[in-house]
């Protein structure tokens, strides 16, 4: 009887979790227009009581109100020269610069990843929570060689709740920029909210290894050469093997394979080479190490720009691979 009761309570709590977020999200979506970030922070603190509720409210406000856009000012933004005679003076001037960025982005409701991260960080600090803006590499392409370790193209956030650091990316959670129309398409993606470190490292690589929040950190070379994990990959009960590389070669002496460590029985996967009209269903065989192996068949010659292969599951793209003419050398 006790086991049955435990199972019932677990199920109820599991189902209540997203419903609780729905309550928060709905309330935040009906917020009025705030003149400054501190008024927004005070409203959130009055409306919600727990740290997690407040962070969720701040996160959702960003996804619903900010527009990702790179303005002329962002493109040609000049560095501000600061002079100081003490560490206190340096920190004070840096703080003034940061507040200027935050105030402008909040007023215009426009910005790029840095503005998104700074606003969320400022709200978390207002709530009295340890909070960090994390700089690093967002995975947008697949490379066979490393880049400079100091290279950064993205920022995201970490906040500490009940002694545990949580990762989130309010920029990627807000939607995407349509490459054809150059218009921002708003779509809230909760995958990037409190994402588990083991999933977050699949698309975000922090410059400081500490912020991977992993017992066994991933190295940069593996991160860059792995496939691109698309949002619909997650939550489907699949796990790609570390043996799977993100680069296929049409002139390789070795066959091109995709390895899965975990795979549902009815997966219905297929793949498509961009620009072609051919779609191939993926077949699998069991490997000696209990992995699932699928052979990818590529034509010996592909037309120009046919250099990307996408894997689909349930008719949704889940993985991208790069196709090259020759086998990559390391």
Which CATH fold topology does 17-224 show? C8orf32 fold (3.10.620)
Contact yes or no for 60/188 (Cβ under 8 A): yes
What is d(CA 310, CA 164) in angstroms, rounded to the nearest whole number?
36
- Produce one character per residue of 306-323: b if its CB has 16 or more CB atoms within 10 Å, e if not: bbbbbbbbeeebbbbbbb
SS3 sequence, 97-161? HHHHHHHHHHHHCEECHHHHHHHHHHHHHHCCCCEEEEEEEECCCCCCCCCCCCCCCEEEEEEEE
Residue 105 tokens, joined: 């982005």
What is d(CA 100, CA 15) in angstroms, rounded to the nearest whole number?
42
Residue 106 tokens, joined: 């909040």
CA 265 vs CA 198, 236, 237, 257, 316: distances in Å: 23, 12, 10, 19, 17
What is d(CA 142, CA 245) in angstroms, rounded to the nearest whole number?
10
Q: Is residue 188 packed enough to be buried (19+ CB in 10 Å), middle (13-18) or exposed (0-12)?
A: middle
Query: Where do the H-state alpha helices sit in the chain?
Result: 2-29, 37-47, 51-65, 72-75, 87-108, 113-126, 197-200, 220-225
Q: Which residues contact 189 (CB under 8 A, 6 or more apart)?
A: 172, 173, 174, 175, 231
- One fold for 17-224 and 239-324: no
Tell me how crowded residue 327 is: count the other CB atoms within 10 A of its CB: 14
pTM of this structure: 0.84
Contact yes or no for 150/203 (Cβ under 8 A): no
**Assigned CATH class of 239-324:** mainly beta
Contact yes or no for 171/68 (Cβ under 8 A): yes
What is d(CA 102, CA 111) in angstroms, rounded to the nearest whole number?
9
pLDDT of the chain, 330 residues: tens digit per residue: 443 433 333 333 334 445 678 999 999 999 999 999 999 999 999 999 999 999 999 999 999 999 998 754 444 454 555 455 556 656 667 778 888 899 999 999 999 999 999 999 999 999 999 999 999 999 988 987 777 666 789 999 999 999 999 999 999 999 876 767 777 788 899 999 999 999 999 999 999 999 999 999 999 999 999 999 999 999 888 999 999 999 998 865 567 899 999 988 888 899 999 988 889 999 999 888 888 999 998 877 777 778 899 999 999 999 999 998 765 454
CA 119 vs CA 77, 147, 268: distances in Å: 19, 29, 42
Interhelix angle 87-108/37-47, rounded to 10 degrees, is 80
Any idea where the domains of the chain sit in the sequence? 17-224, 239-324
List, in sequence order, every residue forming a beta bridge with 214; answer none if it has no partner: none
Which 3 state secondary structure label does DSSP give 3?
Answer: helix
């Amino acid at each position: 009887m006790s086991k049955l009761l435990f199972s019932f309570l677990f199920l109820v709590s599991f189902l209540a979790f997203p419903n609780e977020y729905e309550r928060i999200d709905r309330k935040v979506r009906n917020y009025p227009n705030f003149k400054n970030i501190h008024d927004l922070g005070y409203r959130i603190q009055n409306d919600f009581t727990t740290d997690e509720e407040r962070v969720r409210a701040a996160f959702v406000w960003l996804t619903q109100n900010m527009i990702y856009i790179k303005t002329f000012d962002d493109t040609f933004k000049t560095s501000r020269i600061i002079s100081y005679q003490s560490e206190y003076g340096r920190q004070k001037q840096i703080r003034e610069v940061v507040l200027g960025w935050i105030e402008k982005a909040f007023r215009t409701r426009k910005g790029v990843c840095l503005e998104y991260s700074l606003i969320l960080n400022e709200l978390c600090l207002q709530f009295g929570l340890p909070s960090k803006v994390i700089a690093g590499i967002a995975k947008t392409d697949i490379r066979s060689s490393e880049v400079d370790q100091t290279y950064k193209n993205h920022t995201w956030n970490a906040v500490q709740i009940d002694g545990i650091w949580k990762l989130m990316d309010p920029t990627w959670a807000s939607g995407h920029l349509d490459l054809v129309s150059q218009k921002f398409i708003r779509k809230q993606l909760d995958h990037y909210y409190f994402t588990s470190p083991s999933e977050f490292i699949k698309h975000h690589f922090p410059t400081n290894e500490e912020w991977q929040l992993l017992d066994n950190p991933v190295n940069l070379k593996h991160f860059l050469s792995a496939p691109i994990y698309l949002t619909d990959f997650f939550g489907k009960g699949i796990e790609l093997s570390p043996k799977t590389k993100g680069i296929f070669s049409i002139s390789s002496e070795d066959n091109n394979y995709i390895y899965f460590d975990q795979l549902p029985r009815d997966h219905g996967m297929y793949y498509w080479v961009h620009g072609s009209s051919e779609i191939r269903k993926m077949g699998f065989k069991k490997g000696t190490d209990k992995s699932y192996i699928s052979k990818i068949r590529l034509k010996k010659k592909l037309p120009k720009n046919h250099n990307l292969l996408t894997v689909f599951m349930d008719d949704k793209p889940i993985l991208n691979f790069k196709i090259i003419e020759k086998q990559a050398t390391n």
